[in-house]
Amino acid sequence: MGPKRMVIIGAVASGTKTAAKARREDPDAEITLITEEADISYAACGTPYFISDIIKDSSSLIIRTPDYFLKMLNINVLTEHRVEAINPGGKDIAVRNLKTNSSAFLPYDFLVLATGAKPYVPECEGVESGNIFTLHNIKSAMRIKSVLQQKKIGHAIIVGGGFIALEIAESLMEYGIKAHIIIRREHILSHIDKNIALLVQNHVRAKGVHIHEDDEVIKYEADSEGNVSKVITKKQTLPAEIVVLATGIKPNVSLAKNAGIAIGQTGAIQVNERLETNIPDIYAVGDCVETTHMVTGKPVWIPLATTANKQGRIGGINICGGNDTFPGVMGTFIVKVFDWTVAKTGLSEKEAIRNGFDVVSVIVPSHDKPHYYPGSKLIIVKLIAEKGSGILLGAEIAGEGVVDKRIDVVSAALMGRVTAGQLSKYDLSYAPPYSSPMDPLITAANVLRNKLEGKIQSISPLITKQKLERKDDFVLLDVRTKHEHDKGHIEGSLHIPLNELKSRSGALDKTREIITYCGVGLRASQAHLLLKTEGFENVKFMEGSLLAWPYAIEK
Amino acid sequence: MGPKRMVIIGAVASGTKTAAKARREDPDAEITLITEEADISYAACGTPYFISDIIKDSSSLIIRTPDYFLKMLNINVLTEHRVEAINPGGKDIAVRNLKTNSSAFLPYDFLVLATGAKPYVPECEGVESGNIFTLHNIKSAMRIKSVLQQKKIGHAIIVGGGFIALEIAESLMEYGIKAHIIIRREHILSHIDKNIALLVQNHVRAKGVHIHEDDEVIKYEADSEGNVSKVITKKQTLPAEIVVLATGIKPNVSLAKNAGIAIGQTGAIQVNERLETNIPDIYAVGDCVETTHMVTGKPVWIPLATTANKQGRIGGINICGGNDTFPGVMGTFIVKVFDWTVAKTGLSEKEAIRNGFDVVSVIVPSHDKPHYYPGSKLIIVKLIAEKGSGILLGAEIAGEGVVDKRIDVVSAALMGRVTAGQLSKYDLSYAPPYSSPMDPLITAANVLRNKLEGKIQSISPLITKQKLERKDDFVLLDVRTKHEHDKGHIEGSLHIPLNELKSRSGALDKTREIITYCGVGLRASQAHLLLKTEGFENVKFMEGSLLAWPYAIEK
């Protein structure tokens, strides 16, 4: 028997990783990487920073060249080659050389699909006009950057409100362009809970980006040269010299589908823990595959470079006769949005509810370092746990301070199915340049535990707002100082400063619901405990209070 | 029965936390906080930054005043009061008012010892001279700062090489003082493994601090005014206008001891998981108590503000009739050392060996962000695992890049007793401003896993150096380019560039041990795999290679 023939289709993250790992596992294998693109092994996630010119040279996004693969790893790379069909019976594939238009059959012993994902562009009149782009690889980033550098753009439209849309909006600011973002929903980052998402949205707006929510493009109009000039939406007509469609992506599965490879309920390729498809000796890795959400145990499609790299490694091991497994994902996500970082891991509250969990959540703002240490900044931590068991289900964290560290710790905690109480005992690192003696995560875990144990009663700003809109009968009590109250407060608030609350509590009606609030939630919490001590039974504090209140206040 | 009388001795971190939590748990309790000091509730960890003037005003280190405790929490605070005896039989304590010198008995239902720790100053001739300080509270920090601000200091000596010593050395640089650090051992940070510690030591020296290892002060000489003027050590005489003794701390346990409270083998107060001492209704929290190391299950005394705050909360809950427990610590530690961060969690390799573990470790440098993203910096990750099981035992991380995040993730992982393989599947957050698609921790876990599984063979720079010193028979092979080799290499290296290694490997002796090295370890690893493929059996790569090589190189 000669050396094993391994063919990998797709050569960005997971494909190149599979090939490189297979080479380390099996020095003798014949390994071929095939891609339709001219570039391989590039950092697609870096393209927004190339557009903004934080990264000057597109070549610095390329990690490895075909030449490196050939010379250093003895891996044959076929760029600008399209695989047109897989023949599982004969164990070969039909490959067309896009440069010569010739085609040939290539035999394999093991085949790995790393076909990735492609932009999803909703059908729309005029969408084929000039200067309407998607951003999905280095080539598309170069096209966008070239338009931005060639002419002064007055009006840019971004369709979609996911993290790519936000990264592009920020990139455009580097060119002095205040972009218009058009979203169908009521807030950006639709997989994040509304309360946190609205706070991020306020930050994006404060930076000068126009966000048009509950809207949708119905037509793109072009000028005489065929370039986009206007965007007509359900609600308005906006001028546009450039449009970026960040309307999502879809897994690239047509090749797999045509070969009889099973597709999962998410629309991506179904694989087992070993990343094997339903067809023997055919594996699939990266953005084209469906995986398991480790909190719910259900199939999800969350294509990310981290997963692609991990899966590539596993694919490489397994096609060489090893046995490695991919347990699934936590759906960990992070994005820099101007001065804020926004991150999530596990389930959002709405996802937890949708998955049948009985949920308790808290929103707890804290400084990321001690107040006295220079550069200390706020972050807002939302923790979501299962009622009863107290087992953590997820977290959302946002703000100017250090977010990534805390979300990674929660992701690690979710792996162990720990409770809020267990998280509160974590031995996290502390010195003033890095954290507080009580890390924001420990503080949030303690607040969540208090809520789970019924020691405190609290309510989110979002639900408080809904109660105000429904004109529910309750007292909204501002416990800040008179000076703070006079500078701005929620319309309809009663005002009693915390230090007068004990003496003046007699003036409050014990039969009515009371919701206390302050600046960040601390005094509001103290006030609600004080009122409970005074015999008030239906009293809650507003979590995060005005800091987490995403709506207008009265001045 | 009237309200419960709760007395807490000590009012920095754990004492004030106990009191505040007890108040929230029991609105009616009579709570008294007693301290010998004038200040309460201060951030002792911030004092080095007050000395360096990063923090201008000492009052910003005070978190809460006695007045706040009285007015907002109805907690009585006795400052400058010394507890002279505990009478467990009669359930009272003898308290002396240091301002009036009067004394009285104070009854308690529940007593909490939060007596903290005090500087340990080894006996030495002249140590009582002027301008010789310890740093243990705001008052001592103010004394040090006042000397630094009053006169131009030419010579400052710091005795000790722990994190306080390093923080003070850095603070002194703000005054243009290049301090001399005197340590008895061969490296600073004695609880960190030597290889990483020596790298940190090189960084400290590069910043201008003089480090005198294997040395010890035998006498302090004073000038005619009684202020220190010279420090005489085993090896030399150094001029000194200020001396800071950072020679460690000891738990404050004399009061407990005299009352018959059990002291553990570490010299700190023994408590159970509920933080109860051996005497009913007497609890102990914070820096004065012994706790459990969660990796070894053995008693340890690792006094830190994080533990003090957690324990204060638990103490407050339990004296009010609740039932909370403290599981122990991971020994997580972090310190900023000039441009570097150094952190540890779990066991170091030498601690693991001392505790009877059969250990496998790796040193893996990586960039903290993608190479193309501005501000990307290196960190060096050392992971320690148990041989066989692969269960992680600890980590040490150091470098200019983001260290705190990774150490906290490992600390969380240790809570779940995970293996290197499990860590390598963690779903950590990724976007270019925060990390790489393969986080440095994931990469290090993969390398460790390869080593555990016997797929790679590697050796630390430290052990390589020992082999060189012992004149072991082996080939030290530099696989970098000629240009890199000519700029500097380890004395006695053979040089074959990686891209010529395959063709030139015939010139190497297959019977001899070969250790490959490069810049950071990646090419060295590729080279050792290539040589194994070529039939070499006794080949290893040097982990971290020159980046982790703390010794001089030949130019």
Q: What pLDDT is recorded for position B407?
A: 98
Residue finishing a domain among A198, A216, A247: A247
Do B236 and B259 lie in a common domain?
no
Q: What pLDDT is recorded for position A1?
A: 67
* Angstrom distance (rounded) from CA A364 to CA A368: 12
Mutate to test the interface with A, among B54, B171, B295, B429 (most CBs of A within 10 A): B429
Domain with residue A506: its CATH number is 3.40.250.10
Contact list, B46 vs chain A (CB under 8 Å): 370, 372-373, 432
Inter-chain residue contact A372 with B60, CB threshold 8 Å: yes
Do B263 and B301 lie in a common domain?
yes
Of B45, B405, B424, nearest to A405 by CB-CB distance is B405
What would the pLDDT profile of B451-461 be if each residue is shown by its tens digit? 999 999 999 99
Inter-chain residue contact A306 with B13, CB threshold 8 Å: no
How many angstroms away from the CA of B130 is the closest CA of chain A?
30
Do A10 and A67 lie in a common domain?
yes
Residue B1 banded pLDDT, cuts 50, 70, 90: low
Name the percent of chain B lying above pLDDT 70: 100
**How remote is the C-alpha of A406 from its chain's centroid?**
15
Q: What pLDDT is recorded for position B126?
A: 97
- Catalytic residue, from B45, B124, B288, B320: name it: B45
Do B155 and B190 lie in a common domain?
yes
Q: Lowest-confidence range among B139-148, B337-346, B376-385, B426-435? A: B139-148
Let me know how long chain B is. Answer: 555
Q: What pLDDT is recorded for position B2?
A: 83
> Chains A, B: CB contacts under 8 A, how many?
206
Do A447 and A467 lie in a common domain?
no
Specify whether A288 is catalytic.
no
Note whether residue A238 is domain-resident. yes
Q: What pLDDT is recorded for position A111?
A: 98
What would the pLDDT profile of A299-321 be if each residue is shown by its tens digit? 999 999 999 999 999 999 999 99
Of A24, A331, A429, nearest to B529 by CB-CB distance is A24
What would the pLDDT profile of B188-201 be if each residue is shown by its tens digit? 999 999 999 999 99
The CA-atom distances, in angstroms, between B274 and each of B78, B142, B400 are 26, 37, 40
Q: What is the mean pLDDT of residues B529-551?
A: 96
Q: Lowest-confidence range among A46-55, A177-186, B263-272, B396-405? A: A46-55
Q: Is the pLDDT of residue B276 over 70?
A: yes
Q: What is the mean pLDDT of residues B312-339?
A: 97
Do A443 and A342 lie in a common domain?
yes
Do A140 and A234 lie in a common domain?
yes
Of B310, B416, B427, nearest to A416 by CB-CB distance is B416
Do A158 and A255 lie in a common domain?
no
Inter-chain residue contact A427 with B163, CB threshold 8 Å: no
Q: What is the mean pLDDT of residues B476-482?
A: 98
Q: What is the mean pLDDT of residues B362-380?
A: 95
Q: Lowest-confidence range among B55-64, B356-365, B526-535? A: B55-64
The CA-atom distances, in angstroms, between A391 and each of A396, A421, B313 are 16, 9, 21
Q: Is the pLDDT of residue B104 over 80?
A: yes
Contact list, A366 vs chain B (CB under 8 Å): none
Higher pLDDT, residue B518 or B59: B518
Residue B382 banded pLDDT, cuts 50, 70, 90: very high
Q: Is the pLDDT of residue B43 over 90?
A: no
Domain with residue A371: its CATH number is 3.30.390.30
Nearest to A94 by CA among A85, A9, A81, A256: A85
**Tokens encoding B244:** 């800071």
Do B88 and B182 lie in a common domain?
no
Note whether residue A326 is domain-resident. no
Q: What pLDDT is recorded for position A178?
A: 87
Give the residues of chain A that fall short of pLDDT 70.
Answer: 1
The CA-atom distances, in angstroms, between B320 and each of A289, B6, B7 are 54, 9, 12
Q: What pLDDT is recorded for position B269?
A: 98
SS3 of residue A159 by DSSP: strand
Q: What pLDDT is recorded for position A161?
A: 96
How many angstroms away from the CA of A94 is the closest CA of chain B?
32
Q: Give the single-character DSSP code of A112.
A: E
Residue finishing a domain among B247, B269, B302: B247
- Beta strand residue intervals within A64-143, DSSP E: 75-78, 81-87, 92-97, 103-107, 110-113, 117-119, 132-133
Note whether residue A51 is domain-resident. no
Q: What pLDDT is recorded for position A175?
A: 93
Q: What pLDDT is recorded for position A72?
A: 87
Q: Domains in chain A: how many in total? A: 4
Do A543 and A487 lie in a common domain?
yes
Owning domain of residue B237: 132-247
Note whether residue A112 is domain-resident. yes
Domain with residue B183: its CATH number is 3.50.50.60
Note whether residue B110 is domain-resident. yes
Note whether residue B125 is domain-resident. no
Do B311 and B211 lie in a common domain?
no
Mutate to test the interface with B, among A41, A71, A372 (most CBs of B within 10 A): A372
* Angstrom distance (rounded) from CA A397 to CA A418: 18
Note whether residue A471 is domain-resident. yes
Note whether residue A126 is domain-resident. no
Residue finishing a domain among A319, A346, A364: A319
Residue B364 banded pLDDT, cuts 50, 70, 90: very high
- Beta strand residue intervals within B262-322, DSSP E: 282-284, 291-292, 299-300
- Catalytic residue, from A45, A124, A288, A320: name it: A45
Write the CB contacts of B155 (distance below 8 Å, at least 6 apart in sequence): B180, B238, B239, B240, B241, B242
* Angstrom distance (rounded) from CA A468 to CA B5: 43
Inter-chain residue contact A422 with B405, CB threshold 8 Å: no
Do A16 and A104 lie in a common domain?
yes
